[in-house]
Structures are given as structure tokens and as C-alpha cells.
Chains A and B, each alone.
Chain A
């Protein structure tokens, strides 16, 4: 047989296997992040949190998942049914597909693209379409307000988010996440070079995935649940899943871009060879990612929510100029010192 044909068939098979594995990975990820959120917020609020289902309440969020599966799936009378049905799927797929380009360990990446960074921001930005149409199709005023809020918020925060990344891209000279991590193996973690870029990315990422203090989209004391108001059953479950998966992915990308991805911190050897190296990298990647997940949950337990006009003001008046200055300084440093 033609070796090129075999190669392409193998490539398609490999891609399908990786996609399936990642889709399967989203389920435990959502459960673990959800469980962490329940437990950590309980810890900060001086209460026990879930402690009945399984040892130390470990299966509480899994039970939440099953409960959602068992619930009746309702569609409002005057909803735009096809769009209403598609919207949760779009939001969930945007979160799941963006997982493809994350390098979990050396060689362990589903889609090692040269334009991984562009792919990632293109795909994660799709979730805004899902939110907007969910708000529109629900035929509910709260949902409509939430959908429009999500569109305004996510579109504004895409810009500082992307600009803060361009700093890293200019520094490393590549758009591939794997190469960015490899650059950090030689030059040290990018956060050292991007002291302004990292906080901008962290704030903008929190706004991009609707985490407190930027959870305008589903501000429960104002607009009930925003675009998700009319959703029930597994359709709501997809939004719920997507939210936690997006939190994990954003923290994973943050670790990859600024904190050396799979690289171990200083006293440990940065990287090992062979199969042990893969496991070693995986462990460090997940440790660092869940550290940032913890910080995001900590922020949620502590801070109140900003108002919608303050949110937009911050994006355009503070983060965007800062990101531009950061990009300019980074580019100047790269030019002058020929990094």
C-alpha cells in the first residue's frame, strides 16, 4: 500500500483517538473542578461542605451530574427550538475542542499545531456565540440581558487577553504551545519576562470564562442565571460542564504560557526522558494547573462582583493600554537584546 496513504489513515486515527480521549477527559475534569469548588468555598466560609456522598463527600459533584441527567428537559413554549437546542452544544464544544492544543507533557499533545495559539483563541471565542444565541432563543428577558452582557464582555476581554499573549509570542518567536514551553526550558519561565502580561492575562481570562468577580453573565442576584435561565436537564448540564472545563483550560493555558507548562520548578529537575518524563511532566502540569484553579476559586469566595459598566471600563481604559505598553516594551527588548 502507498505509505503516504497509510500515514494519513494513521494520522486520522490518531486524531480521532486523541479527540475521544480529551472528550472523555472533560468529564472527570468538570467533576474534579466542581468538587474542588464546593469544598474550597466551604472551607473559606467556615462550613463543612458536602460530606455525605462517598468518602468525605468526594462524589458530590458526580451525583450532581447524574441528577442533571435524570431531570426533565424542558423547552419554553415560544423558544426558537433548533437554536435553543444547539446553543449548549456550541458552548461545550468550544471548551472541549480548545483542549486539543494544550501540551500536557512532552509529546503528549493531541494537535501539535504551529498555529496552536491562534487556534486556541479562535475556538474559545466561539463560546460567546453559544451564550448569545442561548439568551436570544430562550424567549426570556433575563436570558436576553445575560446573552447581550456575555457578548459585550467577552468581545471586550478578547482584546487584552490576546494582546497579553502576543507579548509571549514575540518573546518566544513561535505560535506553537509546545515550542513556547521548550523556549521556557532554556530561558526560564515566561512570567519572569512578562511581569505585566501575566496579571493582564489572569484578569482577562477570568472575565473571558465568566468567573467571579466578572460573572456578569450569570449574575444570580441580578438576572437570575443569565442565558441559562430557561435551560434544564442535560442542556443546562452542558453549560455547567463547559464552565468548569473552561476554568481548567484557562488555567492550563496560563501555566503553559507563563509558568513553564510541564516543566518542574527550580529545585527539581526540569524535565525527564522517556515514559517517566511524560508522567513527571503530567504531574507537574496538573499540580500547577490546579493551583491556579484553586486561586480562581479563592477569588470567587472572596470578592464581590463588579458592575457591567465598571467591567467594560476596566477592559478598555486599563487593561488594553497596559497590554499595548507591555507588547511595545517586550518587542523593544527583543529587538535590542536580540533574544
Chain B
């Protein structure tokens, strides 16, 4: 594989004759560290204490009277993947919170820069694993802009159909996870039952259940088939009943309301200042939806309104997702009605070499504005490939929302922001 990218030359191998000079700082740290421990005959050298690096760290890690640091995660049962929250508490009241990220970093952006444009679409699936279809959609649009082609009309409709299906199960599961973090055991199972029907449907069209690998530059991999349409019809017949059954346990439940109303209120100004997007932003009353504001795919041909809830608390974020779930089902009806005939894949060569240039594509994922910025240098793989993941942006509002609430509420507020760590850490 040839690339025009300039990469630093590898360091020459160390000369074995040259005496190795130990780092004095490291030696000093070792000398002052805790006494040596032994574990089955092996010496364990604990890492040296790391002094705080920024003013913010000094603020979080300095304890006042009666305060305690509780380390939640990365193996805590309800941190939605591997996330660490350093929570400063006084009794049960959260004083401050410091989210620590990076436990799931896989270097996907770098991997994508080493892959051809076609194979990039296989790497981005496991980023935000609850919305794999959306992950593929954004780079597909960006690469089509780079290469200067458009997908056929039928392919665009199939794309819109599968991403809306994906949004339905993502929002359905969020209801379940929120309930689970509040202590309700059952909604998550109902959420997974509904998800399973959608996922089997998507497996019928794409061949895989979770990481679909369905989008291609210039179209989609397969046309719809009988099994997919059968499953779609059967699912559509009872999906609203199923959602209602799930909702009945939560929405009107007195305990659920008491636990979520007025909790973690995010004002519209805060949300805009911090770059929050998607359902979290709309639940604060800001009517911004990428599908409406910057229409892509076929969304300007569909009828829908931007749903907002003015309150901005955990309950509003939950209601926002339910409303959007129902809106997606409504969109799916329209898409299936209007779907044209025709090919599903434009003519593209096996290895795509776009002209040098740059392209940006933004879509509305279940978690917000999901965008891709790709630079081509004329080679077969992107020179630079950057993804903006909305979960990462949503996480930075947590230190604003949580102080003053109880430990129990931190998990509820976090679940209502619906972050997926696969997308946060990339």
C-alpha cells in the first residue's frame, strides 16, 4: 500500500554497548514510593503518586472537612461500559465529579486512516455500538462528497429506513438502561425484546446482528428482501403496543417520576454553550435537529416536526426519547410508502482514490450531531479522518449537572444523557 503521507522514520535500534542512564525523576519517585510488596514471589512496585496537573484537578482532589472521594468505575456495574467517575461526596451528597475517560480507546480514527475508503466503513461500526448504522452513514456521505458521486434514490431510502430502525432500538434500550439505573429490573428486558426484533430484521437485510457493515460508498450492500419486509411488517403491527407496555411501567410510575423530575436540569444556554446536541439538547427546549436544520439523505422529502421538551431534566430527556421513538416509527411508515424502485449501488471502483480535498458530513444519531471530517490526499486511504461523537460532548455536562444531587441520582442523570463509551473513547 502506498501513501503520500509523511510519517516519521523509526528510531534506530539502541546500541547495546551504550550504558543506559536511568531517568533521575523516575528513580526519585521509586525511592519515595510505598514499600515493596510481594505477590507470589514477584515484586510489585506500586506506581508513584501523580501530583495534580491542572487547577481543576486540584479543585476536585482536595478534600474539605467531611468529604470523601468515591471511585465509581471502570468496573462499576452501571457506568455504561468502562468509564470512571471520581465522585467527591459529603455523606451522600455529591459535591463534585470528575469523569475519567480512555479505558476503551482503540484508536479507531487512526485505524481508519490506514484503511481504504471502503474498509473504513467496517471499522466505524463498533464505535457507538448502539447505533452502528448511523456510524456508517456519516462517513458514507462524507466519502461520496469527496469522490463526487451520489447514491441511487432507492439506496438513500433504504439508508433512511435502516437508520430510523436503529434509532428505534437505541432509544428503546435507553429507556431500559435508565430504569435499570433507577432500580427497575423489567424495562430493560422489554427493551431487549423489542431490540431483538429490530436486530433480526436488520440481520435479514445486512447479514449481521450488531455491527452491520451495511453501507457502501455510493449505496448500500443489499437490496431489501422478503424476510426483511416480512419482519418489518410483523414488527410494525405491534411495536406501538410494545412501546406502550414498556412505557406503562415507567412513565406514570410515581417512584420513577419522583426520581427523575427536576433532577439534573440542563438549561438551554448551558446546553448550547457546552455543545450538547441531539435529544439532550431538544429536551432543554432548543429545536435543533440535523435532519431538519441541514437535511441530508432524503429527510427533506419526509414530513416531521422537531420535538422539544422545555424542562431539561432527566424526565424530559426520557420523554424526549419516547417521543422521538414514536416519530421514527412514523418516519419509517413514510419511507416504506415512498420507496422507489431502482438500483441500490452506484458504480464505484474497488479501490476509491478521490481527488485531494476535504469533506464534512453531519447526521442526527440517536445521541446527537454525529459528524465526520475527512481529508483526501489523492491516495486510497483518507489522509485524516475525524469523527465527532455526541456522547463525548454529552459527558462534559456531567460536572455541571450532578453537584448537589445524591449518589443515587448520578447514575440516573448519567443514564438520561445516554452516553455510549465505545463512541466516547473511539
Contact = CB atoms under 8 A, between A and B. Distances in A.
- Are both chains from one complex? yes
Interface of A: 41, 44-47, 141-142, 145, 149, 212-213, 215-216, 219-224, 300-310
A306 B189 contact: no
Given A221-B77, A308-B92, A45 B408 contact: no
B61 to A, nearest CB: 15
Interface string B169-185: 00000000001111111
Interface string B309-342: 0000000000000000000000000000000000
Contact of B183 (A44, A145, A221): A221
Nearest to B407: A222
A310 B179 CA distance: 17
A46 B190 contact: yes
B68 A304 contact: no
A220 B182 contact: no
A41 B184 CA distance: 12
B186 interface: yes
B134 to A, nearest CB: 27
Nearest to B87: A141
A307 B76 contact: no
Contacts of A309: 92, 406
Chain A to chain B: the 3 pairs with minimum beta-carbon distance, closest first: A305-B183, A304-B184, A221-B78
Contact of A308 (B70, B77, B256, B408): B408
A145 B70 CA distance: 10
Contacts of B183: 212-213, 215, 219, 221, 303-305
A213 B249 CA distance: 14
Nearest to B77: A220
Nearest to A225: B77
Contacts of B258: 306-307, 310
Nearest to B263: A307
Contacts of B407: 145, 222-223
B78 to A, nearest CB: 4
Nearest to B184: A304
Interface string B236-257: 0000000000000110010110
User: Interface centre among B71, B253, B255, by most A CB within 10 Å?
Assistant: B255
Contacts of A302: 184, 186, 249
A37 to B, nearest CB: 11
Interface string B69-96: 0110000111000000000000010000
Contacts of A213: 183, 255
B interface: dominant SS? helix
Given A213-B183, A304-B179, A305-B182, A222 B189 contact: no
Contacts of B406: 307-309
B255 A304 contact: yes
B389 interface: no
Contacts of A300: 185
Given A220-B78, A302-B186, A304-B182, 15 more contacts: A44-B186, A45-B189, A46-B190, A141-B70, A142-B70, A145-B70, A222-B407, A222-B408, A222-B410, A303-B183, A304-B253, A305-B184, A305-B259, A308-B406, A309-B92
Interface of B: 68, 70-71, 76-78, 92, 179-186, 189-190, 193, 249-250, 253, 255-256, 258-259, 406-411
Contacts of B408: 216, 219, 222, 305, 307-308
B334 to A, nearest CB: 30
A305 B77 CA distance: 16
A303 B253 contact: yes
B407 to A, nearest CB: 6
A48 to B, nearest CB: 12
A223 B411 CA distance: 10
Nearest to A303: B255
B15 to A, nearest CB: 44
Nearest to A301: B186
22 contacts: A141-B68, A141-B71, A145-B92, A145-B407, A212-B185, A213-B255, A221-B77, A221-B182, A222-B78, A222-B408, A224-B77, A303-B253, A304-B179, A304-B184, A304-B250, A304-B256, A304-B259, A305-B182, A305-B183, A307-B258, A307-B409, A309-B92
Nearest to B75: A224
B77 A306 contact: no
User: Interface centre among A46, A141, A221, A300, by most B CB within 10 Å?
Assistant: A221
Contact of B190 (A45, A145, A216, A220): A45
B411 A306 contact: no
B338 to A, nearest CB: 34
B246 to A, nearest CB: 11
A309 B408 CA distance: 10
Contacts of A141: 68, 70-71
B189 A46 contact: yes
User: Interface centre among A216, A222, A224, by most B CB within 10 Å?
Assistant: A222
Contacts of B189: 45-47
Nearest to B257: A304
Contacts of A41: 185-186
Contacts of A308: 92, 406, 408
